[in-house]
């Protein structure tokens, strides 16, 4: 039975389609939250010892992205931290030395998973946890993607820099076809962002329920600021 579980764990941690939250839960179940303070080399060694295989770099970055979210406020205050953390939560390696821009759908998912693992205080505006620079970056990203009206789930986290005299929206003159085309494109872009978040949330729920945990069950899924044993 122990050997079977070890094989399951090895398969899970090597699966680069695993999302960050299930990987973090698995690590907490195995090592406890003490691993938050480990050096990367220690973490790599302990993973190899307990799971029998090395965790791929991209999965390791997912875990440390969420550790950073839980242990610091960098993801909320620093754009330089938000970008690689968002990349890691969207299945890319976190490289602090190379600029890898975050897309609108990636930003939406990163914020969704961050809020899931570190729920905001209900008494305060959750968007205000994120700095002006981060909200402005998301707004500029959406603007470059042609989205001037963000989807509802992302709207609180968006700021657009505009000249006070700039007109909001489009000036399309009398051509209703152009207006309709613009609005369809906006709607399609918002739908794609929302679909991406919805699909990943469903995947996250399925992955959590499939984890072979020792300390407890997460069948009902996050919030996960608590230990798996208290689920």
The CA–CA distances, whole Å, from 51 to 18, 22, 24, 40, 62 equal 15, 15, 14, 16, 17
pLDDT per position as a tens digit, 134-177: 999 999 999 989 888 888 889 999 998 754 444 444 444 556 65
Q: Are 76 and 129 in contact (CB under 8 A)?
A: yes
Nearest to 24 by CA among 73, 69, 54, 87: 69
Hey, what's the torsion of the CAs at 150, 193, 70, 118, to 10 degrees?
70
Positions of the chain with pLDDT under 50: 1, 163-172, 218-231
The CA–CA distances, whole Å, from 216 to 5, 201, 212, 223, 229 equal 15, 21, 9, 14, 4
The CA distance from 209 to 25, in Å, is 11
DSSP string covering 31-55, please? H-GGGGGS-HHHHHHHHHHHHSSPP
Q: What is the pLDDT of residue 97?
A: 72
Q: What is the pLDDT of residue 98?
A: 75
Which distant-in-sequence residues (6+ apart) come within 8 Å of 171 by Cβ? none
Distance of CA 185 to the CA centre of its chain: 25
Hey, what's the torsion of the CAs at 9, 113, 62, 118, to 10 degrees?
-90
Mean pLDDT value across the chain: 84
Global confidence as pTM: 0.83
């Amino acid at each position: 039975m122990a050997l079977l579980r070890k094989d399951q764990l090895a398969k899970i941690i090597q699966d680069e389609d695993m999302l960050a939250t299930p990987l973090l839960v698995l690590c907490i179940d195995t090592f406890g939250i003490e691993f938050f303070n480990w050096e990367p080399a220690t973490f790599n060694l302990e993973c190899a010892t307990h799971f029998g295989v090395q965790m791929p770099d991209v999965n390791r970055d997912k875990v440390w992205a969420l550790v950073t979210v839980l242990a610091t406020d960098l993801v909320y205050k620093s754009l330089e931290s938000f970008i690689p953390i968002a990349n890691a939560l969207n299945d890319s390696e976190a490289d602090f030395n190379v600029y890898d821009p975050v897309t609108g759908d990636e930003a939406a998912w990163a914020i969704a998973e961050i809020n899931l693992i570190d729920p905001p205080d209900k008494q305060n505006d959750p968007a205000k946890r994120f700095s002006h620079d981060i909200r402005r970056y998301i707004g500029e990203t959406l603007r470059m993607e042609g989205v001037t009206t963000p989807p509802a789930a992302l709207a609180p986290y968006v700021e657009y820099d505009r000249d006070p005299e700039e007109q909001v929206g489009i000036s399309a003159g009398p051509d209703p076809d152009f207006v309709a085309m613009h609005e369809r494109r906006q709607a399609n872009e918002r739908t794609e962002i929302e679909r991406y978040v919805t699909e990943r949330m469903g995947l996250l729920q399925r992955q959590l329920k499939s984890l072979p945990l020792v300390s407890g069950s997460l069948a009902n899924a996050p919030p996960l600021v608590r230990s798996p044993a208290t689920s």
